[in-house]
Structure 1
Amino acid sequence: MGSRACACRAPLVLGCAGLLCAVLGAVMILLVPTIIEQQVFKNVRIDPNSLSFNMWKEIPVPFYMSIYFFDILNPEEILKGEKPAVQERGPYVYREFRHKTNITFNDNDTVSFREHRSFRFQPDRSRGSESDYIMMPNILVMGAAAMMEHKPMELKLLLTLAFSTMRQRAFMNRTVREIMWGYDDPLVDFISNRFPGMLPFKGKFGLFAELNDSDSGLFTVFTGVKNFSRIHLVDNWNGISKLNYWHSDQCNMINGTSGQMWAPFMTPESSLEFYSPEACRSMRLTFKETGVYEGIPIYRFVAPNTLFANGSVYPPNEGFCPCRESGIMNVSTCRFNAPLFLSHPHFYNADPVLAEAVTGLDPNPEEHSLFLDVHPVTGIPMNCSVKLQLSLFIKAIRGIGQTGKIAPVVLPMLWFGESGAMEGEPLQTFYKQLVLVPKVLQYAQYVLLGLGCFLLLIFAVYEILVQTPVGASSQLQSAAQPKQPASPCTPLLQDAPSRPLASPPV
């Protein structure tokens, strides 16, 4: 009896379990996307309670800056008007340390901060030492000469005399350490005293001197706590919401983020916009392709062909002019008026005449293009490589003897690449909490729904084929049994009265 009752309850339990799994799976399909979205919103906003706050505050990604110098091989020939020849030297690699200071949360859903940066030379990753000598253009001499081009001849002759007295030439041979972090030069004191305001610094002059042990200014960005639609966007920089370097409102706009995180839930139609104080402008990268980084799905964003295009090729860039050939950007207005230009390394993606004017350049996309790999669900960068080149426009200036007969040319000085990739424990934590858990939930909802439907199907089949009513079964069995034919004697035997049998005769 007990085994029969258990057999009757088993299909009922099976059916209830199937119904429960199917309902739970259907509910998860409806609710899991919303739950994941809410968790992402909660964990990527700039909030001390969010998962990504410590990652935003103390960037766990090891950043490296690799410097490649263009060593000039024929300085004397250049002074005679010949074509420059250069040889790439490097990389000279520096570990870059970043952490945010003066973090202040404001009442208007913004947070203000400074990002302190310092650099440490990495001999094991470098090809050469900081004591290596590099021949390169003397930026102070050629920059001052360019600024004096349209000044009276008397001033030019005075500057020529000053250059001669201080033994300044058009080209200089200095160490990597001096070029990077600064050197004492009497010319700096002379220019500062005779032409106040021409140079924005005093003391040592170096191309990266103002970046080491310093910050890029005071950023104020939206936290996304109250208004998620503006998360990470820059509200102002150094108290201003608009630049004054350029000649159009569009070029002077401070757009995008500070370049560390972007809004989540990206699509291939999304773009990465960020403001770079070093480039004195906002930049916009565009989607190229999808990919996978250490098991994490990513979107790769690259620089469009129009990033450094001149105004004739791309009219919106007209505000960055005066322009030269397309593919280089004039940054003199934000770099002490020296004729400096920003571009991709080796003039990649620029007018070919620029690379052809200098011997020793070989632009190619594999080595000289930049990219950012971003996790599209959270907007957090996984891997990046930003590469830019700094060049100086040089030419002979009438009245300044140090410039000789230099033919006009945009001469590359160096290019640098900043790279960083998430790794180690931060990568594992990110993968588990923001990739693996959502993926498990997404798979679980379909598994539950499928399992529930399968169990319900088994229950239905069992009810139809096995659990047929008992009465109907007996009738079916009786109908199926063959009837025995009646014997001719049967009625006589049934109707005959019961009486004792007679004794046999003796």
Structure 2
Amino acid sequence: MLPKKVWKWLHWASLLFGILLIVLGVVILSVAPHIIHEQIDEEAYLGRYPNGTYHKTVLKWISPKYEMFLQIWTFSVANAKQVMQFGDKPLVIEHGPYTFIEKQNKSWFQFIRNDTRILYRNDRTYFFSQKDSCKSCLLGDKVTVPNILFQKLVDILIDPSTSTITRFALETLIGVSSETAYITVNVSDLLFDGYKDPLVQKICGKPIISDICKKFGVPDRIGLFYGQNGTDDGVYEVNTGLEGIHSIGKVYSWNNMTGTLPKKYWYGDQARMINGSDGQLFTPNLSPSDQIQVFSGKICRSVCFEHNTDIELEGIPAYRFSPCTSMNDPLVQRTQGFCNPKSPVYFKNESVQPVGCAPISLMDVSSCMPSSPRIYISQPHFLDAPKEIHDAIQKLAPPTENDRMFVDIEPSSGAPIRANSVSQVNVGLLNGNLSFLKNMSNAIVPLLWLNETAMLDADTHDQLMTLVTAKRIYRIVSSLFLGFGVLLLLVFSIGIVANKYKTRNNEETDTLVENEQVQDPEEQAYGPIES
């Protein structure tokens, strides 16, 4: 058995060593994150080294190595004649995916304001990939879709400024055509090549009507991505993060429009604001309570994202952000100025389509599109939309959680590790009070849905794994220190209690012995007294 002095020394050593371990654990928890964040700050900004060469983050930003695909599913209306003649609900056949490999490149960029901001153009080029598409998917496939060009003629007909003579001439010319509200085109023409409508060409070629077609912006050719392959969506001005990493990616201007967009866009000042990031760079140290604003030139607005769930991708923990639920709130959208007060009525139920607004969960982007066609963006298969919107289309697949847009972000670095930009493009069809379309109801018909996917490359994955490993190591070490420290303090406490208990027992034993040794004074003097 160890001597009493040794036990006493070990007893106090457990106290001191326990306190030391706890202090070290707290210091590691406090200091290590700052060291990691400082390292991120030193490497994450867009800038140049003193010798003038570009920072490695810039090189990655110029030509992202992320794996990017654009997948497209088309909706072909199988009963177009019945829809126009008898007012049947559109019956759609979904086909896809038609898969395109996407390449992005900053074709031009320029540092300004002492390298604190950068102007750039981001080119996107798409290459059709047959092997990544469905086996029967060919760009020459025929699809019957809402005729956007025809709807421009409808705009002329329903406009109050159109004269009676012009309206009569238009209706007569349209009436003798066999192709009106719907048109059959190749998939390639629908997407990138664009298509011409013989009827529109014929009508807008008339001397009297040609000026009216120009006034209403009737294009000669139209396609969903017509003229966009190998091009950009404008010049962005963003923060480089040089003066503070928490501002990296912040958008200041787009196409020389600073702060806000002109009044031709949207219907309120807040809706026109250019705010948030550009969707390529996010601020570090995100928390689940954060909301993210992303400005997109494609739709001329900022989109709100909020935390949906926590995920792990290839060993990297991340937060998943999805569009904010407020984007489906018509009161919020009207207050912010995203509701078109002249929106056509497609659903008479105000719980489905509030007055002076698009149907719930649909985004009216007509003010952003060239020639202002009635284009509505939703999530695929009308996810989160009222049931009536989905049921207005026959054979449309039910929505699932796979139809939800999201971006997965590693929170410490702010690096996006996966993005699924899913959306559905819908066309608003009006009958224009045309006699031969009197049975066709105004409707919102899906044209296609797409999924633009980006996955982190191997190099970025390895860098993020280094960060994740460093975070795990300091958390494990600090937890061990804190755990052993608390254990030693517990041992010390137990020792204190045991020592007090032992001392108390010894005192009680000594008292008992003393009591047994104390006898009656008469017994001590004369011996035991006999009765």
- The TM-score bracket by the shorter chain reads 0.7 to 0.9
Deviations 1:380-421 (A, max 9, x none): 1111111111111113213475x4532111111111111111
* In structure 2, distance between residues paired with 1:348 and 1:103: 38
* In structure 2, distance between residues paired with 1:164 and 1:123: 40
- Judge conservation of contact 2:310–2:317 (CA < 8 Å) in 1: yes
Q: 1:136: Cα distance to partner?
A: 0.8
Deviations 1:440-476 (A, max 9, x none): 3454566688899999xxxxxxxxxxxxxxxxxxxxx
* In structure 1, distance between residues paired with 2:316 and 2:434: 61
- Judge conservation of contact 2:269–2:336 (CA < 8 Å) in 1: no
Deviations 1:193-246 (A, max 9, x none): 4332533855x4211113211001000001111143422110111111212311
Residue of 87, 91, 96 corresponding to 1:90 = 96
* In structure 1, distance between residues paired with 2:302 and 2:487: 56
Code of the aligned partner of 2:131: D
2:460 is paired with a residue whose SS is helix
**Measured at CA, do residues 217 and 356 of structure 1 come closer, stay the same or move farther in structure 2, by a change above 3 Å?**
same
Deviations 1:79-108 (A, max 9, x none): 122221111111111111101121111116
Name the structure 2 match of 1:46.
46
Given the two structures, how large is their TM-score scaled by the length of structure 2? 0.75
Q: 1:281: Cα distance to partner?
A: 1.2
Code of the aligned partner of 2:157: M
* In structure 2, distance between residues paired with 1:124 and 1:404: 45
Residue of 468, 486, 494 corresponding to 1:435 = 468
Code of the aligned partner of 1:225: L
- Judge conservation of contact 2:234–2:255 (CA < 8 Å) in 1: yes
RMSD over aligned Cα atoms: 3.2
* In structure 2, distance between residues paired with 1:28 and 1:339: 58
Deviations 1:10-58 (A, max 9, x none): xxxxxxxx99x97987765553222111111122222245553333221
Given the two structures, how large is their TM-score scaled by the length of structure 1? 0.78
Residue of 326, 339, 342 corresponding to 1:320 = 339
Unaligned runs of 5+ in 1: 1-17, 456-506
Bigger mean CA deviation after superposition, 137-146 or 63-72:
137-146
**Measured at CA, do residues 368 and 30 of structure 1 come closer, stay the same or move farther in structure 2, by a change above 3 Å?**
closer
Question: Is 1:122 matched with 2:133?
Answer: no
* In structure 2, distance between residues paired with 1:327 and 1:26: 48
- Judge conservation of contact 1:141–1:168 (CA < 8 Å) in 2: no
* In structure 1, distance between residues paired with 2:78 and 2:48: 54
* In structure 1, distance between residues paired with 2:447 and 2:292: 28
1:196 is paired with a residue whose SS is helix
Question: Is 1:76 matched with 2:81?
Answer: yes
- Judge conservation of contact 1:147–1:337 (CA < 8 Å) in 2: no
Residue of 255, 268, 272 corresponding to 1:238 = 255
Residue of 424, 427, 434 corresponding to 1:389 = 424
* In structure 2, distance between residues paired with 1:396 and 1:39: 61
Name the structure 2 match of 1:466.
none
**Measured at CA, do residues 399 and 51 of structure 1 come closer, stay the same or move farther in structure 2, by a change above 3 Å?**
same
Number of residue-to-residue matches in the alignment: 439
* In structure 2, distance between residues paired with 1:24 and 1:309: 50
* In structure 1, distance between residues paired with 2:26 and 2:328: 51
Code of the aligned partner of 2:166: L
Residue of 184, 195, 219 corresponding to 1:183 = 195
* In structure 2, distance between residues paired with 1:56 and 1:325: 38
Bigger mean CA deviation after superposition, 133-142 or 328-337:
328-337
* In structure 2, distance between residues paired with 1:333 and 1:279: 9
Code of the aligned partner of 1:289: T
* In structure 2, distance between residues paired with 1:259 and 1:190: 42
**Measured at CA, do residues 282 and 146 of structure 1 come closer, stay the same or move farther in structure 2, by a change above 3 Å?**
same
Q: 1:159: Cα distance to partner?
A: 2.8
* In structure 2, distance between residues paired with 1:346 and 1:29: 46
Q: Where does 1:92-107 land on structure 2 (aligned, <5 Å)?
A: 92-107=98-113
Residue of 224, 230, 245 corresponding to 1:213 = 230
Code of the aligned partner of 1:101: S
**Measured at CA, do residues 138 and 275 of structure 1 come closer, stay the same or move farther in structure 2, by a change above 3 Å?**
same
Question: Is 1:414 matched with 2:414?
Answer: no
Deviations 1:281-327 (A, max 9, x none): 1100110111211111100111233324434x754344432313211
- Judge conservation of contact 2:117–2:238 (CA < 8 Å) in 1: yes
Bigger mean CA deviation after superposition, 369-378 or 338-347:
338-347
2:158 is paired with a residue whose SS is coil
Q: Where does 1:15-34 land on structure 2 (aligned, <5 Å)?
A: 28-34=28-34
Name the structure 2 match of 1:349.
384
Q: 1:183: Cα distance to partner?
A: 2.8
* In structure 2, distance between residues paired with 1:26 and 1:331: 52
**Measured at CA, do residues 189 and 254 of structure 1 come closer, stay the same or move farther in structure 2, by a change above 3 Å?**
farther
**Measured at CA, do residues 188 and 303 of structure 1 come closer, stay the same or move farther in structure 2, by a change above 3 Å?**
farther
Code of the aligned partner of 1:112: L
**Measured at CA, do residues 370 and 130 of structure 1 come closer, stay the same or move farther in structure 2, by a change above 3 Å?**
same
Bigger mean CA deviation after superposition, 214-223 or 170-179:
170-179
Bigger mean CA deviation after superposition, 275-284 or 40-49:
40-49
Name the structure 2 match of 1:172.
183
Code of the aligned partner of 1:292: E
**Measured at CA, do residues 274 and 119 of structure 1 come closer, stay the same or move farther in structure 2, by a change above 3 Å?**
same
Name the structure 2 match of 1:372.
407
Q: Where does 1:246-265 land on structure 2 (aligned, <5 Å)?
A: 246-265=266-285
Code of the aligned partner of 2:35: I
* In structure 2, distance between residues paired with 1:264 and 1:291: 17
- Judge conservation of contact 1:345–1:363 (CA < 8 Å) in 2: no
Name the structure 1 match of 2:62.
57
**Measured at CA, do residues 302 and 25 of structure 1 come closer, stay the same or move farther in structure 2, by a change above 3 Å?**
closer
- Judge conservation of contact 2:152–2:218 (CA < 8 Å) in 1: no
**Measured at CA, do residues 185 and 318 of structure 1 come closer, stay the same or move farther in structure 2, by a change above 3 Å?**
same
Residue of 341, 346, 362 corresponding to 2:397 = 362
Residue of 159, 163, 167 corresponding to 1:152 = 163
Q: 1:191: Cα distance to partner?
A: 4.2
- Judge conservation of contact 2:419–2:453 (CA < 8 Å) in 1: yes
Code of the aligned partner of 2:339: F
Of the two, which has the highest radius of gyration? 1
Q: 1:333: Cα distance to partner?
A: 1.6
Q: 1:362: Cα distance to partner?
A: 3.0
